[in-house]
Amino acid sequence: MSEITDSNFEKASVRDTAFRVRMRRFFGVLQRLTSNPTTVVGLVLIALMLAMAIFAPWITEANTPDAYQMPRDWGAVRKPPGTPGHWLGTTNEGGDVFYGVIWGSRTSLQLSLYVVGSTMVIGTIIGSVAGLVGGWVDEVLMRIVDVFLSIPELIFALAIAAVLGPSFTNIIIALAMVIWVKYARIMRAQVIQIKQNDYVDAARVIGDSKLNIYLKDILPNAVTPVTVQATLDMGNVVLIGATLSFIGLSEAGIAEWGVLVSEGQAGIASGRWWASTFPGLMIFLWALAFNLVGDGLRDALDPRTEGR
């Protein structure tokens, strides 16, 4: 028989437990991910910004009573960067830009986690139901999705947020309502494609339950594009959220990058560039980092390169 008889490999795999082999596969993906320099840049940026969000109370003293409100130092308004106590300057209302940059990362992390987390779950469930059940259920669900997709994301989110009234929570709700359709679409296409595979039929012939077939055969093979999309959306959501904040759909005075850019933009003409630039740079870096990692993840999880 013409088989791969690398005796060392065989001995090694006899000793392997299933757990170790699975870990090795996981590390293989990780290795492919980190072999791409732009992905590593993205990962480092994400790590830094996550550290910023997590350690915010230790980096700058939390404002009381609400840490997400900008502290106001009315004695030091419109100070340029380098002012002692206000390293990145202050805003028109005496808000510390450095505080806004640091705590803004927390706000952004919350925004993206809530939106992406909830839409991923909702979209996956709805897409799976449409793909698995098919027929008129699929037809109805997908027509609803089409209605949502026919309106541009930003315009739609803006309309919802405007109806709900200006608040940061409403931005989260508006974005979640707009974005779930993407996951439903992706998931439905994946499920329809994967459920036609012979290994699904093989599981049916064995007599395994429908739930088990979905959880063991369909879902694990379908999630790759959803994971990639979720990573990209972690960045995009912050971008759209900042846009909505910028046009005033968030509460004023909140430590949010979009709000800060909005508040600082009036001063740019008078030479006070810092109040808008630093939060704007953060939005840029955040979106860039997740897009870099998302692209890298897409390549690393590509089945054509995996394990061949």
Partner 1 sequence: MNSAPKPESATSEVLLSISDVQKYYPIREGALQRVAGHVRAVDGVSFDIRRGETVGLVGESGCGKTTLGRVVSGLTDATGGAVHYNLDGTLSQIDHLQDLQARQFRRNCQMVFQDSFASLNPRHLVLDIVGRPLRVYNEASSGDLVERVVELLEQVGLGRQHLYRYPHQFSGGQRQRISIARALALNPEIIVLDEPTSALDVSVQAQILNLLNDLQAERNLAYLFVTHDLSVVRHMADRLVVMYLGKVCEAGETQSIFAAPHHPYTRALMAAKPDLDDDRAGENVKGLDGIVPDPARPPQGCRFHTRCEMATPVCGWEVDDVVRWLEDEPGMFEHLSGVERQSEFNAELAFDSEEAAAKLSMAIRSESVPAAMKSALKRLKLDGHKVDIEFEAVDEVQLTARDGGRLASCVLDPDEVAAKSQ
Q: Which is nearer to partner 1, 9 or 55 (CB)?
A: 9
19-38 positions binding partner 1, by CB under 8 A: 20-22, 25
One residue of 147, 202, 215, 247 binding partner 1 per CB under 8 A: 202
d(CA 191, CA 303): 16
Q: Is 83 helix (H, G, I), strand (E, B) or coil?
A: strand
Per CB under 8 A, 165 contacts partner 1: no
Shortest distance (Å) from residue 130 CB to partner 1: 17
d(CA 243, CA 262): 9
Give the contacts of 197 (CB within 8 A, at least 6 positions apart): 217, 221
One residue of 26, 27, 55, 199 binding partner 1 per CB under 8 A: 199
Looking at 39-47, 194-202, 259-267, 268-276, which segment touches partner 1 (CB under 8 A)? 194-202
- Sign of torsion over alpha carbons 122, 126, 132, 133: positive
d(CA 148, CA 178): 7
Give the contacts of 157 (CB within 8 A, at least 6 positions apart): 171, 174, 175, 177, 178, 240, 244
Shortest distance (Å) from residue 219 CB to partner 1: 10
Output DSSP code: residue 143.
Answer: H
Q: Which is nearer to partner 1, 169 or 209 (CB)?
A: 209
Q: Which is nearer to partner 1, 5 or 64 (CB)?
A: 5
Per CB under 8 A, 13 contacts partner 1: yes
One residue of 4, 163, 211, 269 binding partner 1 per CB under 8 A: 4
Per CB under 8 A, 205 contacts partner 1: yes
Say which amino acid occupies 282: M
d(CA 51, CA 43): 12
> Which residues of the chain form contacts with partner 1 (CB under 8 A)?
1-4, 10-11, 13-14, 16-18, 20-22, 25, 197-199, 201-209, 212, 216-217, 220-221, 303, 307-308
